[in-house]
Amino acid sequence: MIQKECKYWIPGHSIDCVVLGFENNILKVLLLKMRHSEKWSLPGGFIKKKEDLDAAALRALSDRTGLKSIYLSQFHTFGAYERRGKSEVDRLMHEIGQLNKTVAQWLSNRFLTTGYFAFADVQKARPVPDFISEKAEWVAIDELPTLIFDHLEIINKALQHIKLKLNYLPIGDALLPPKFTMAMLQKLYETILGRALDRANFQKKMLKLGIFDRLEKLKTGAANKAPYLYSFHRKKYERVLKEGIGYL
Amino acid sequence: MIQKECKYWIPGHSIDCVVLGFENNILKVLLLKMRHSEKWSLPGGFIKKKEDLDAAALRALSDRTGLKSIYLSQFHTFGAYERRGKSEVDRLMHEIGQLNKTVAQWLSNRFLTTGYFAFADVQKARPVPDFISEKAEWVAIDELPTLIFDHLEIINKALQHIKLKLNYLPIGDALLPPKFTMAMLQKLYETILGRALDRANFQKKMLKLGIFDRLEKLKTGAANKAPYLYSFHRKKYERVLKEGIGYL
DNA sequence: ACAAAAGTGTTATCCTTACACCCATGT
DNA sequence: ACATGGGTGTAAGGATAACACTTTTGT
């Protein structure tokens, strides 16, 4: 069935998704472990002959995560001639060739790839490996394993891009659970920006935006004051996001 | 010769360049007038089978402008299935088919296109039309003629992108002549940002960056005080640009 | 003398930063 | 009582915005 599908795909162009999640105050990325190799790869896919590029990315994403509505945005197209590395392509195609010659042949050609980044709720996502990988997992962004091809470069470019457009991206809404504390939101900003932020000032700056609903307190059982939980006020959130939120 | 070249190009993927220039205080874009049609198009090109995507963009650009060193950056890949419009492709291919069937055939397939934007010195550029266009010209950004396919969308996306990354782009250095006045620089910022800026504050803000060399005064012959000319102090300019210049 | 554009100065306001202080909670 | 983390307050410094004032130039 994969074999037959090759005919329905545009040749020479792939999609790679940098899917980010936030769990236990750690930023994570969804990765696939290759079969017959110690390397990992980004979830990706190909474009059907009559399919929009964006639609293909959405499809790839929903195939790997089971999620349909998700924040997704294109950030860069990678087109260096030898971006996949000659020896690595050879080795990989040898492995795949054992399973399916047609597919291996098709994959061994040159590929441009368009990178998308996405924000997913780690709780809701159900990672599913594709046919050339053996498992799909969330991996902490600062403990990345060895990746195939230029996938590390793709991840780094995605993070750089996100950092730059941070103020216009719905990171809070898309990466946090419906109810969250200011400390969680702050940690999220800190990991993405890569620097510490002042607790008091962060809180005041955020609250002044007027996009939060303050909810009940969260009792953690720890020996300290219980923090408030917050949720985003949809309408206000979207209005403010257009103008840009937070830190530059 | 174009016919033969088709074999050396990657099929289904093109490049389109939004080349900006600044002349007489007006922001301009380089456009090509199609043969046999009232429509205009962006200068573009295709990718050789063993060529980096970025290299292809540079080549396309130097072919159309005669400029080799130029600021060039990718901003988006357009991949909507019918982005070129069925009827428009048909009509165009009919015209081209008269000249060269092979090329027309090749062009009638689906294409993804990667958009690049570039900053060029209008004085130094020598616009050269390609084989399907009859002339190449600088056109004021707010007096655009009818464009083929989705080229208007591509231009708008480029401008939007530039606006967002303004602080990190060498617009002054790349778009102004070696010697320029503060008024010119301000007008440039104003056109890109789409809003007026306070003259006094602009001047102070810019000068405080410490990236300019103040030169002689410019005598215009007008009945008013002569403004100073400035040039960028290379080293300081590059250092400051990394941190971000100007307005957000 | 005058208009027009350039250069510089002044002020109020806002935002950022750094830190201080008190509050709630479980041991 | 006390350690711990959460919420709020304050004061200094810097950036921004609005506008006034002076200077230069050619008619």
Sign for the pseudo-dihedral over CA of B127, B132, B134, B138: negative
The predicted structure's pLDDT at residue A95? 86
CA A156-A157-A163 angle, to 5 degrees, is 90
Q: Which of strand D's nucleotides are less than 7 A from any protein C-beta? A: 3-10, 16-20, 23-27
Q: Is A12 on the interface with B (CB under 8 A)?
A: yes
**Which DSSP category does B227 fall into?**
P
The two structure tokens encoding residue A96: 């795949």
Give B92-123 pLDDT, tens digit per residue: 889 888 888 888 999 999 999 999 999 999 98
How does DSSP assign B35-62, residue by residue?
TTSS-EE--EEEEETTS-HHHHHHHHHH
CB pairs under 8 A between A and B: 59
Instruction: Assign 3-class secondary structure to A80-93.
Output: CCCCCCHHHHHHHH
How many other β-carbons are positioned within 10 Å of the β-carbon of residue B138? 20
Tell whether the model's pLDDT for residue B220 goes beyond 90: no
Domain ranges of chain A: 2-164, 168-243
C-beta atoms surrounding A222 within 10 Å = 7
Q: Residue A223, CB, less than 7 Å from strand D?
A: yes
- What does pLDDT average to over chain A? 93
Evaluate whether B17 touches B127 at the Cβ level (below 8 Å): no
Residue B52 has phi, psi (to 5 degrees) of: -65, 150
Bases on strand C under 7 Å from any protein CB: 3-10, 16-20, 23-27
Tell me the CATH architecture of domain B2-164: Alpha-Beta Complex (3.90)
CA dist B187 and B199 (Å) reads 10
**Predicted confidence band of residue A111 (pLDDT cuts 50, 70, 90):** very high
CA distance A30 to A236: 31
What distance in Å separates the CA atoms of residue A203 and residue A212, rounded to the nearest whole number? 11
For residue A126, what is the DSSP state? Answer: -
Contact residues, A window 158-217, toward B, CB-based 8 Å cutoff: 164-165, 168
Distance, in Å, from the CA atom of A91 to the CA atom of A89, rounded to the nearest integer, reads 6
Instruction: Using DSSP, state whether A10 is helix, strand or coil.
Output: strand
Q: How many angstroms is C1' of D18 away from CA of A203?
A: 31
Is a pLDDT exceeding 80 seen at residue A67?
yes
- The answer to whether A13 and A84 have CB atoms below 8 angstroms apart is no
User: In this predicted model, what pLDDT tens digit does every residue of B50-91 receive, in sequence order?
Assistant: 999 999 999 999 999 998 888 999 999 999 999 999 999 999
Domain A168-243 CATH assignment equals 1.10.1040.10: no
What is the 3 state secondary structure string of B166-219? HHHCCHHHHHCCCCECHHHHHHHHHHHHCCCCCHHHHHHHHHHCCCEEEEEECC
Q: In this complex, do B52 and A79 lie within 8 Å of one another by their Cβ atoms?
A: yes
Give the residue carrying structure tokens 């007096």. B143
Which of the four pLDDT bands, split at 50, 70 and 90, describes residue A131?
A: confident
A95: phi then psi, degrees, rounded to nearest 5: -60, -50
Confidence (pTM): 0.94
Task: Identify the residue among A8, A53, A82 best suited for mutation to test binding to B, counting B beta carbons within 10 A and taking the highest.
Answer: A53
Q: Are strands B9-23 and B44-48 parallel, antiparallel or unpaired?
A: antiparallel
With beta carbons less than 8 A apart as the criterion, state whether B42 and B16 touch. Answer: yes
Q: Is B181 within 7 A of strand C by CB distance?
A: yes
Gap between the Cα atoms of B93 and B84, Å rounded: 12
The mean pLDDT value for B204-213 works out to 95
Of A114, A165, A248, the CB nearest to B77: A114
DSSP calls for B92-114: HHHHHHHH-HHHHHHHTS--EEE
Side-chain-side CA neighbours of residue A166 (13 Å): 14
Do B172 and B181 meet the contact criterion of CB atoms below 8 Å apart? no
Among all residues of chain A, which has the CA nearest to that of B47? A79
* Mean pLDDT along residues B18-36: 95
Segment B218-239 shows an average pLDDT of: 92
**A217 CA, C21 C1': separation in Å?**
22
The reply to whether B197 has its C-beta less than 7 Å from any atom of strand C is no
| SS3 (DSSP) at B178 | coil
Name the closest residue (CA) to the C1' of nucleotide C19: A200
Note the pLDDT tens digit of each residue in A175-204: 999 999 999 999 999 999 999 999 999 999
Amino acid at A26: I
Give nearest nucleotide to B214 (CA–C1'): C7
Q: Mind spelling out the 3-state secondary structure of B143-164?
A: CCCCECCCHHHHHHHHHHHHHH
Residues near B153 by beta carbon (within 8 Å), at least 6 away in sequence: B78
CA-CA distance, A212 to A208, in Å (whole number)? Answer: 9
Residues paired with A32 in a beta bridge? A41, A136
Extended beta strands in chain A, E state: 9-23, 26-34, 40-41, 44-48, 71-78, 112-119, 133-140, 212-217, 228-232
Backbone phi and psi for residue A158, each to the nearest 5 degrees, phi listed first: -60, -45
A230 phi, psi to nearest 5 deg: -130, 160
